[in-house]
Structures are given as C-alpha cells and as structure tokens.
Chains A and B, each alone.
Chain A
Amino acid sequence: MQYMFLIYLDEAKFAVMSQPERDAFGNGMLDYDEELKASGHYVTAEPLKAPSEATTVRRWNGALTTTDGPFMETKEHLSGFVLVQARDLNEAIQLAGRMPLATVGSIEVRPLDVLERS
C-alpha cells in the first residue's frame, strides 16, 4: 500500500534556530530520502514553499475564486510530503517516525485511496 506523509511545521520554531540548525534538518531530510530509496519504500517526496506563497482555489457555485494563503489558519502548516510504499500502516508509522522533522513537527500519515470511475 502507499501512504502519504503530510509534514506540518510551525515556522516560529525554525525562526529561532541558527542557520546550521536549519541546514541540519534539510540535509537530514535528504538523507532520509536516500534511506527510503535504499530500502525500497520511496515513491516520491517534495518540500513545499511557505504558506505565504500559497493560493487557495475554489470553484464554488461555478465561479472561480482565489484567496491568498492556505485554507486553514493554524499554527502548523503543510510544509512538504513524502509518498512511501509500505507493508501496512504500522510499517508506515515506523518510517514516518524516523523522519528528522518528526522531532519538531507533526507528520500526518494517510493511506492513498483509489478513485474508480463508477
């Protein structure tokens, strides 16, 4: 099964860090990707730009509208994702728990769904 790890981070926590500290997380995540590739769990992974770069799109009642920023006002923002192939949810949780960013942020683990034409 494939599982999406949605990485939620509070930018305030990074603002107070030194540059080497921030770099350690970035490099740690790249190492983590390599580890996932080596173990055959890796599908894809990308970071996302800051929430201030986000645009929320809606087409409610037929009219296209856009708003600046993310949909929800929360302290932690979606900051990146990793898609893995794992045996089951417990293996996925294990993999997510080893992610360096799990020590400062929250990782939401969601199984991918299958959308079938009906």
Chain B
Amino acid sequence: MGLAGPTELDAVWRQHSRKVLATLIRLLRDFDLAEEALHDAFLVAANKWPREGMPDNPSAWLISAGRFRALDKLRQRACFDTAQAELALLLADTESAEETHLADDQLRLIFTCCHPDLAPEAQVALTLREVCGLTTEEIARAFLIRTPTLAQRIVRAKLRIKEAGLPYEIPAQEELPGRLDSVLRVIYLVFNEGYSAHSGDSIVRAELSVEAVRLGRLLAGLLPDGEVLGLLGLMLLNEARRQARQTSTGDVVLLADQDRSLWDRAMMAEGTILIEQAFRQHQVGPYVLQGAIAAVHAAASSAAETDWNEILGLYGILRRAAPSPIVQLNRAIAVSMVRGPAAALPLVQSMLDTGQLADYHLAHVAEADLLRQLGRNELAKAAYVRALQLCRLEPERRLLQRRLAELAPS
C-alpha cells in the first residue's frame, strides 16, 4: 500500500480503466451508466487514495466504488423503474473481481462491440472507443470523418445494443467461428487503417496499428484459436517492417527495395512463432496463410533470396481457402516472380477485363509493372496513368509519378 499522487493515478487509469469499464458494463448492462460509474469511481479514488493510500487490488476497489455510485445514481434519478430496481438488487450482492473475471469481461465487451447485428463501421468505432479507450475525436481524425458523424454512429450502436438486447457474453462454442470472424475482421481493419490509410498524406498512422496489435494480443491471450494467433502473427510481421516502409520524407519504399536492417527482427521472430503455433493446431485459415506468406518474406535476408515458390504455393492454398480478387492479384505477382512477367500478365489483364478490380489502383499498378518489365513502355505508361487516376494516397501517387517519369523518353 502506497500513497497515490497524480502520476500514480494516471498509471492506474491507463492500466485498469478499460478492464474496470468492461466489468461495469457487464454488471450494469448499460454502456453509458458504466462509463459514468467509471468516471465517478476514479473521482472517489483521486480523493481517497492520496490520503488513505492505494488499495492492494485497485481494479476490484474501482469496480466496487463504481457499482456503489451507479446504485446511488439509480436511486436518485426519477426514472427509477422496476427494471432498474431489479438491476439495483443485482448490484447489491457482492462479487469478486478476480483477474480471470476481468479478462472474460473484456472478451465479452469485444464480442458485443463486434456483434454482427451492428453495422461494420459501427463495430470499428465502438471497439476503438469502448475497448481501446480512444476518444471520439481521435477515432474521427484517424478515419478522416467528421466527429459529429462518428459520435452519432456510436450513439446509434449503443442504442441498438440496448433495444435489440444484444447479449453481453462470450458466444457459445458452436457460434464462435462466425462471431470470431467479425471480431478478427474489425481488428485487421483497424490495423490496416493504421498501416496503410486509404487516403490522406501519410501512409503511417501508427496509433491505430498499435491498438490493433494490442487487441490482437489481448484476444490471443484469452482465446488462442488458430486464426487469432494467425492474425496477431500477421500483424506483427507487417508491423515489424514499418520503419523500412517509408523514407524520412514520407515516400513509399516497396518491399523489394526496403533496407532490411531496419526490420524489427524480434517482432518478426514473435510473429513467425505465432504462425508456426497456428499451423501446429491444424487450424489453417486465411489469416494464418497470409501470416505464413509474410513469414517467408521475413525469412529472406535479401529480396533476391525470397522463396517465391513457397509463396506461390501458399497463395494457391489461400486462393482455395478464401477466394477473392485481391488474393488472385497477389498470386499473379507471385507467378511473375516464379515464372516471369509474361506468365503473370494475362492473369492480371483478364481480371481487369472482366471488371474485377477495375477500380482498384493496385491492379493497374501490377499491370503497369509487368508491362514495364516486358519492355512495353507505352502500354505501361497508360496503365500507370489509370492507376494514378484511382489512387488517393499521396505517397503512393508520388511513387507512381516517379515510375512514369522513368518511362518517359529522355
């Protein structure tokens, strides 16, 4: 027991507030009442702890203080109806706040925030605010949307949870795969938004990626399912390359040109181990496969030493496990590395011809790169121009303009 000053309180807030909130949401079955209770509990702590010392188990103390304050408020407020009277009774009996309980509550909260009944963009917003503790303003800034729009999304999602009575629980075993899918999708979306934003002037929005990795770790600790490990491994293997992905002036550096001494080897090793672990569980889904491909890149000490045969094989499995035009496009790039650009070009062109990926700038970039490698410069230029018309990301645009300039006759 030590006396708690502002620094200690800040540390407690950072360490415990999200866990305490998750438990309060379960106890109170109301996001907003729980947030209020959390706020009040910290207010009481800020008053008491500096005088009386910090309790041995701060989370348990905060949960108990929060639930008492909530109970008081429910009693005071005029809207004290029968449902709330029942809730108050429920609150009145005590319950331990063991660490396993706290962890389960966080997992419950993730599943509730990512419930398939909520719109996908609401799932993301709610997860970042309620689970990660980001403010509405921070989330809006990261996703380049107006704060009032995002705030409204969160208000509506909470209302939906309340009105539809979405359960605050960890799904049963038979429901788990479907429900887990949407959780993993949200986490990966947050990661990618931070790793490679869709528009704006910087390709790196580190905060979101850090949050996604943190969520991935939390989930992997609680639910070490193959795909959960796969996703965490995949994110770590990508995150490890962050330093090498852009120059100091913010220009894109492609994988083949990256200075591999800038790669975070410890993070890569951790990611690779996770992928191996997932393979051993014989649960090889799309995230594990994408992670495995990233691990092959990580294993190569130079771009030339990349085992493209292995990558092509993995894309072959991924294409069957999770067929998508993006996977086909990436596989085509692997084909070009193994069998040459002439073998890959028809694959890319047939996808563009059928209208698949016609609006996706990277498909046009792939076509342009292949044409350039084949020496068909005029056609390559036209493809780069099409890619430029579709690309909104400033650093990528600069890269495409450099490519175009290289092709111009001197």
Contact = CB atoms under 8 A, between A and B. Distances in A.
A89 B151 contact: yes
15 contacts: A39-B43, A40-B39, A40-B43, A89-B135, A89-B136, A89-B147, A90-B129, A90-B151, A90-B155, A91-B39, A93-B151, A94-B32, A94-B35, A94-B36, A111-B147
B321 to A, nearest CB: 38
B137 interface: yes
Interface residues of B, number: 17
A89 B137 contact: yes
A87 B35 CA distance: 11
Interface string A26-41: 0000000000000110
Given A88-B129, A89-B147, A89-B151, 10 more contacts: A1-B137, A39-B36, A39-B39, A40-B43, A88-B135, A88-B137, A89-B135, A90-B136, A90-B154, A93-B151
Interface of B: 32, 35-36, 39-40, 43, 129, 135-138, 147-148, 150-151, 154-155
Interface in A55-105: 87-91, 93-94
A4 B229 CA distance: 45
B146 to A, nearest CB: 10
A1 B148 CA distance: 15
Going nearest first, the 10 A-B pairs with the smallest beta carbon separation are A88-B135, A88-B136, A89-B136, A89-B151, A90-B136, A94-B32, A90-B154, A90-B151, A89-B147, A88-B137
- The DSSP consensus for interface residues of chain B is helix
Interface of A: 1, 39-40, 87-91, 93-94, 111
A1 to B, nearest CB: 7
Contacts of B39: 39-40, 87, 91
Given A93-B155, A94-B35, A87 B135 contact: yes
Nearest to B154: A90
Nearest to B153: A90
Nearest to A91: B35
Contacts of B150: 89
A67 to B, nearest CB: 31
A94 B147 CA distance: 15
Contacts of A94: 32, 35-36
Contacts of A93: 151, 155
A90 B36 CA distance: 12
A39 B35 contact: no
A91 B147 CA distance: 13
B40 A89 contact: no
B40 A39 contact: yes
Nearest to B155: A93
A38 to B, nearest CB: 8
B28 to A, nearest CB: 14
Nearest to B33: A94
A93 B32 CA distance: 10
Q: Which of A1, A90, A94 has the most CB of B within 10 A?
A: A90
A44 B32 CA distance: 23
B76 to A, nearest CB: 9
A44 B209 CA distance: 38
Contacts of A39: 36, 39-40, 43
Nearest to B46: A40
Contacts of B136: 88-90
Contacts of B137: 1, 88-89
Contacts of B36: 39, 94
Given A1-B137, A39-B40, A40-B43, A89 B35 contact: no
A91 B137 CA distance: 11
Nearest to A100: B78
A5 to B, nearest CB: 14
B148 A89 contact: yes
A38 B148 CA distance: 27
A79 to B, nearest CB: 22
A32 B4 CA distance: 31
Contacts of B148: 89
A114 to B, nearest CB: 13
Contacts of B32: 94
A94 B136 CA distance: 13
A83 to B, nearest CB: 18
A89 B146 CA distance: 11
A39 B36 CA distance: 9
